[in-house]
Structure 1
Amino acid sequence: MADTKREIERKYEATPDTRLPDLTGVAGVSAVLDQGVAELDAVYHDTADLRLAAASITLRRRTGGADAGWHLKLPVAPGVRDEISAPLSDEVPRALEGLVRARIRGSELVPVMRLLSSREVCHLLDADGALLAELSRDAVRAERLIDSSRTAQWDEIEVELADDGDPAFLDTVEKKLRKAGVKPADSPSKLARALADTATERDERSGPAAEPAGLPPRTAGGHILAYLREQADALLAYDPAVRRDLPDSVHQMRVATRRLRSAFKTFRKVLDRDVTDPIGDELKWLAAELGVARDQEVLTERLRAALDAVPRTLLLGPVRGRLRFWTVAHGSGARRTAVAVLDTKRYLALLESLDTLLGDPPLLRAAGGAADRVIPKAVLKDYDRLAARIDHALALPPGEERDVALHNARKAAKRARYAGEAATPALGKAAKKFAKAMKSVQSVLGDHQDSVVARAALRNLAIQAHTAGESAFTWGLLYGREEARAAEREAELPGVWEKASGPKLRADLTG
């Protein structure tokens, strides 16, 4: 079983002669308790081409100290990582390997670095004896295990915040350390420093991946590729979050897939459709698979909120129990589907396809054009598509056909919004304002579509209740409320659309 903790720490440069100040002078610290010295032996695992290190992820097997075992550290923010631990074993635990599968794919995890650390530990305690932070002073020896047998040595200081501590406390400690001449470390982790200090000449020559040749800055292609890289990185970052069942992770991963696919469609004058269309089809498949869990999550939240708004006198029958049963029956399978799809060969092949596209982008002639000329045309084409769908939907009488047309308009609004977001780095405030306007339209249409879906679910719940001999009154009441809510959104749409559209919007985008 793997355990998780949020690690918030700061690292500082040191030498064997570095003297620490008296930390009882730090606000809130009443005592500094010596915890002795621990000898730590950590072997870090990665692919031969260091894919985990490139993503600031570390996976190690460590003996010695109080937390011997396997530790996987995933970046959250600068100085903040989630540490997932597993018991000591000879092989990489399957639970931890699964969390990095999207990074390593078919590659083998091998030992890449050994770090031997002599660690002096002390605890910073408050007046009640509660732990505020742990300060450790490490004398580190690094032994490279791939490509060469180079070694490196250094000293460093770490200050790690206690569980549930206030991050502002680390600022106070840092101020005291800086006054004593102790400077923050340049490397974010021991492994990063070890790899840098033992790098071979080949490593130094290769460096980070370069931008595609022949693509000058400020071009349409340069901006679009930067946006695609950002979304591909998000896709990879949310993969372990989905596997860990973290809140909103499925939604955010699904958003990344949709943004990628929308960008392929919006900027088809920049990137060759013969290459992007097949990848877009796979992204559509992934979004649909993830959507089973996300859509169920959204629907369940909506139905629960609707029940909470009903007076107790109108809750006839075991409605809450029936909703719980319905949620479990529909939700558990959806969750398993979302996780299982991440282990399929098809998903891993999609990730490889994205890497290939970004490494060797299929740029068309327009990619070399100025961003402020090429990008607005693509964005406005999506806007015109949305306008046509809204006009069509509003011309229809209320009913099923109009519901479908409004759903199609919602999808067009989402694509136009994503286009505006993708264009923002190139076009600035005009694109940001456009995206915000499209989001307002999408919100109205989205709430309408959620009502359509909710009514279908409520009808099924009413049938189940009736079949079981229960009252279906409450479900019928909620159905009627959803019907009224959808009618309100339809009445609201013309005004929202008028405010979000107009000639000024086009003029601002084109300059």
Structure 2
Amino acid sequence: MERELKLRVAKEDLDALRRAPLLATANSAAKAPQLLTSTYFDTPGLAFRENEASLRVRTVGNDRVQTLKLEGAVHAGLFDRDEFEVPIESDVPDLTRLYDQIPEDTGCGKLIRDETIAAQLEPVFVTRINRSVFPLRTPSGDELEIALDEGTVDAKTGSVSIAAVELELKQGEPESLYNVALELLEAVPLRIDHLSKADLGYALLETGQSKAVKAQPVQLDKRASVEDAFSTIARKCLDQVHANERGVVSGHDPSSVHQMRVGLRRLRSAFDLFARLIPASSRLDEELRWIASELGAARDWEVLAGSTLDHADINGNAPEILPVRQACEKHAVDNRQRAAAAVESVRYTRLALQLALWLNRKGWRDGMSDEQREAIGAPVKQFAADVLRRRHRKLIKRGKGLADLDDHLRHRARIAAKKVRYATEFFASLFPRRAVSHYVDALSALQDDLGWRNDAVVADQLLTGLSRTSPESVSGGAFVRGFLASRVASDHRTLTKLWKRFRRLSPPR
């Protein structure tokens, strides 16, 4: 089992990193730099990639090592995966050397025993890496290797440069990787890297840009404790956040901005619903608010420039709307770039590392009494039922007379509905599927209506400000604001019906 934390570093910062106090102490035991040339093999149809595996032959001097890696799990840059290595004499793979290590009844086991697959293997890309390795022993006794890599990934379709830090755990606890990364972050700017070298190589072969990733269902064991449930839910939320970072940083994908923001909202909602038993530090919450706000402005302008103006411009050719659309699209691009810069910042890297460290070492246990530890060890199902009941009650209270509430009070009801929805999805696997489905369907319809109404309120605010900075948009902005006001007014009856339908329901139990 391989456990690695991968970090990106600017090429010009590698020398400064070598002089970092942490590496200076390990310099005397550092291994001589080596050139590692790794040729990755696959079939023309990328069968190994399809099976979430990578196959390489690495050359170090006169030695050859064949390695098969399975995808495994990646959380906040920590790769936790199976790795199978065998020395070989040739520059091409010998799959028979893996038979003893990989069971025949597994997907990968069947793949490597398929003679047709073996016959089709060909080089698909090559990595050429100059690597310096520093062994490190932490005060707590954990043993790590810090590798500084500089080189390229080369394929027929292109090439990409690499400057990276890999922290590999040899012995000890995974949280030591995050502690070391945070210490190195004080020396030079670093970024968490969620892509392996194999991922980078395959990205050169595969056309298209990274796609936005939606939240995946949470599966809880009905016998799980409150603490175990919290860990599972928080990690699922973080998986969605991290999966969309590349799309946000690319600056081209508004949907990645939206889905990363959704992941952050879900994470903060999880913190909130467990807060009585598992408190998070105010510092973590403050930093989560910060990154969410950096993404929020981009999302608001994207919605206005897209769906909101599309609804207002029914025929798609209203001349007065064109200047509004152009101004909004410029704001959307500017804010998307700001969101990308925030996700690439040292501040965000530090937050991601601190969150991962807190989750890995269960930092909420610090200073807990025996009574509190007993409470978080209780079965989660009763806790979940109590949470859903309380949140449902709060929504019913805040939604009284929903269709006639002013913008502020309706916004509070919308937030309450969102919290009920997230809590229900988090705990869905603990309750009868039919009851959950019926409840979520009604809640989703209500949320959709409240959501576009909120978009209309935000659009009105943005358009008001736009008219002051872009005089050419005044006429079109006034038209759009009038259109939105009329649409909200005509929705009164629909919202009333949706609220009545939901109000009749009880939360799953």
> Which bracket does the TM-score occupy, shorter chain normalised?
0.5 to 0.7
Amino acid at match of 1:242: V
Residue by residue, what CA displacement relative to the aligned partner does 1:209-235 show, whole Å, maximum 9, x if unpaired?
89xxxx995222212210101112322
Q: 1:122–1:447: structure 2 CA closer, same or farther, 3 Å change rule?
A: closer
Q: 1:308–1:220: structure 2 CA closer, same or farther, 3 Å change rule?
A: same
Contact 2:266 2:422 in 1 (8 A): yes
Aligned-pair CA distance for 1:253 = 1.1
Aligned partner of 1:3 in structure 2 is none
Contact 2:251 2:337 in 1 (8 A): no
Aligned partner of 2:4 in structure 1 is 50
Aligned-pair CA distance for 1:450 = 1.1
Residue by residue, what CA displacement relative to the aligned partner does 1:283-307 show, whole Å, maximum 9, x if unpaired?
1221111111111111110343135
Matched, 1:153 2:87: yes
Aligned partner of 2:350 in structure 1 is 349
Distance 2:397 2:420 in 1: 13
Distance 1:495 1:277 in 2: 40
Q: 1:250 aligns with which of 235, 249, 257?
A: 257
Distance 2:269 2:44 in 1: 51
Q: 1:426 aligns with which of 403, 426, 430?
A: 430
Aligned-pair CA distance for 1:501 = 3.5
Aligned partner of 1:453 in structure 2 is 458
Contact 1:254 1:291 in 2 (8 A): yes
Q: How much is the aligned-residue C-alpha RMSD, in angstroms? A: 4.7
How many correspondences in the alignment?
Answer: 355
Contact 2:237 2:263 in 1 (8 A): yes
Q: 1:420–1:300: structure 2 CA closer, same or farther, 3 Å change rule?
A: same
TM-score by length of 1: 0.57
Distance 1:394 1:491 in 2: 8
Aligned partner of 2:294 in structure 1 is 289
Q: SS in structure 2 opposite 1:263?
A: helix
Q: 1:488 aligns with which of 464, 470, 490?
A: 490
Distance 1:140 1:182 in 2: 18
Aligned partner of 2:210 in structure 1 is none
Contact 2:310 2:316 in 1 (8 A): no
Q: 1:488–1:347: structure 2 CA closer, same or farther, 3 Å change rule?
A: same
Amino acid at match of 2:93: E
Matched, 1:259 2:253: no
Q: SS in structure 2 opposite 1:256?
A: helix
Contact 1:250 1:294 in 2 (8 A): yes
Distance 1:370 1:122 in 2: 48
Q: 1:259–1:152: structure 2 CA closer, same or farther, 3 Å change rule?
A: same
Amino acid at match of 2:227: G
Distance 1:117 1:345 in 2: 31
Aligned-pair CA distance for 1:335 = 2.1
Q: 1:368–1:49: structure 2 CA closer, same or farther, 3 Å change rule?
A: closer
Q: 1:327–1:419: structure 2 CA closer, same or farther, 3 Å change rule?
A: same
TM-score by length of 2: 0.57
Distance 2:267 2:493 in 1: 32
**Structure 1 unmatched runs, 5+:** 1-47, 60-90, 98-105, 125-135, 145-150, 159-170, 192-200, 397-401
Aligned partner of 1:238 in structure 2 is 244
Distance 2:439 2:120 in 1: 42
Aligned-pair CA distance for 1:417 = 0.9
Q: 1:358–1:346: structure 2 CA closer, same or farther, 3 Å change rule?
A: same
Distance 1:336 1:107 in 2: 34
Alignment of 1:17-56 (within 5 A): 50-52=4-6
Aligned partner of 1:178 in structure 2 is 114
Aligned-pair CA distance for 1:488 = 3.2
Q: 1:489–1:190: structure 2 CA closer, same or farther, 3 Å change rule?
A: farther
Q: 1:190–1:425: structure 2 CA closer, same or farther, 3 Å change rule?
A: farther
Identity fraction in percent: 22
